Amino acid sequence: MQELLQWVEACEADAIDEEDVIRFDHGDRTFAIYRTAKGSYYATDGYCTHEKFHLSEGLVMGTIIECPKHNGRFDYTTGAAKRTPVCVDLRTYPVKLEHNKVFIQI
């Protein structure tokens, strides 16, 4: 059965600093919303795929997010795992900007 996707308002665009990440919870799910130094926005699952630690506490370096607990890394624009102990890619979500608000499709 096809999954029904919806656009959900996550935050104000300026709620995220450049080259940073914040947490967004929706229902029983949690996400990480990123803003690059160039002002683009991305969204991924909130928890690291290695162990259950939230990426919003981590460090953004360019398009890389580093997990706060074990320093595993992902490219948050693609979800690709980039450094052990991370071995499994991160799920990403489409993002759009409307009226200075960030929406993610989930």
The residues that touch another protein, with contacts defined as CB under 8 A, are: 17, 20, 50-52, 57-59, 61, 66, 68-71, 73, 83-85, 87
DSSP string covering 28-64: TEEEEEEE-TTS-EEEEESB-SSSS-BGGGSEEETTE
Beta carbon nearer to another protein, 8 or 70: 70
Beta carbon nearer to another protein, 17 or 98: 17
d(CA 67, CA 35): 16
| Residue 29: strand pairing partners | 26
Shortest Å distance, C-beta 22 to another protein: 9
Q: Token pair for residue 97?
A: 């900007």
Shortest Å distance, C-beta 26 to another protein: 20
Beta carbon nearer to another protein, 5 or 37: 37
